[in-house]
Structure 1
Amino acid sequence: MVSATGHLRLELTASSHFSLHLSTNSSLQTVELAMGASRTLSFHPKDHQETLEIVFSKEFNFPLKYAFKMETDDSSYQTFAFTDIVLLVKSTFECDAGFNGKSCQEKTTSTTTTTSTTTEITTTTTTVLISEVPSTTPIIKVAAFQQSNPSNIVLYSVLILVIVTLLILVFIVFFLLKFPKKNVYIRPETPNLENCPVKIEDSRFFSPMSPRYTTEPHKLF
């Protein structure tokens, strides 16, 4: 007799496409799995069955089996490795509608609660008195200044700085053009050369044609 109090849910994910054969003590089925895609299967155990043994097999590979517990707090992950494929199995035992508990053997008692809500609406009347101001009373007008945007203030400050810089540059260029730089050349003073008689002996200048004496010349007369 098959129990309808709970069911075992298996989420299968394979590393590659292949055909998976699953068998229990009461069923046999083949599931086509695609690479990376999850496939969910459900198994209903028999009444008061604590575990469910499932055999996983692939063609030309040894079968692998595992016993899953029929308990709601036993959610787990299992890895099955074949020759060239890895199979990841996530197992979860869930209770069917109307049952709860660790083994899904307890019946759920439904309780209906009726809540009455009372809403109070309060109406408030407000009287506004408007009095006219005599014409003799001076009216002071207050100008409301809208707060400037900080970004506008920064923009205005930059513009003012650029304008002032341009004015300074124009003033400097105008000053240089109006008052050009004058180069003053100071001529060095030259000494006043006067004609002074210089003796040849004193000047130590001898012509190649002039005679040279080693002794004092004899006077003829």
Structure 2
Amino acid sequence: MTRDQIFEFFRRLAEDNPAPETELEYGNAYQLLVAVALSAQATDVGVNKATRALFAKVETPQAMLDLGEEGLKAHIKTIGLFNSKAKNVIAMSQILVDQHGGEVPDSRDELVKLPGVGRKTANVVLNCWFGQETFAVDTHIFRVGNRTGMAKGKTPEAVEAKLEKRVPTPFRRDSHHWMILHGRYVCKARQPECWRCTVVDLCSFRKKVLENPRG
């Protein structure tokens, strides 16, 4: 994709959805951090179902420590890998209390030191809570970046680096939301729904599905 095509790609998505947001539910930075950490290899819908009751009780790292690992497991047992995730969330919460005064740091370097927090999770928190221009490359963004030709790369890090270079200024803060939503609902993994895609003419994917197979 050319620079002009990338600009037009995001312009159209922005026109359709001027204020995109994560579909994870949270009330503060700590709850967002927990929700994103829990969402690895899980759906946002599944995480939200588990965290509604949890977040009604737990708003701070100290409250999570008071709940304890077993109490946390009881809330998130419907989420994949819940045992290891519970252990990480408790360890993360302890570090936040001990080293950060119970606050979520606004630095990627500090965030990725926390148990269960990788670069993607850190980027989501920095973007959604702190308003930083980051590119959190999940499976949807990885697919859309490669499939459209906007940001081709063999690893999430490579796709992130391409997006960092190629996404124009007006769209940088919200670009990863538009790409996630586009990948989740239109440019789907098994079969992209090109017949209803607003940016189909800008995309370099060769095997476009231009007719709805279901009629």
Instruction: Give the number of the structure with larger relative contact order, counting CA–CA contacts within 8 Å between residues 6 or more apart.
Output: 2
Fold shared by both chains (TM-score > 0.5) = no
Computing the radius of gyration from Cα coordinates, the structure with the larger value is 1
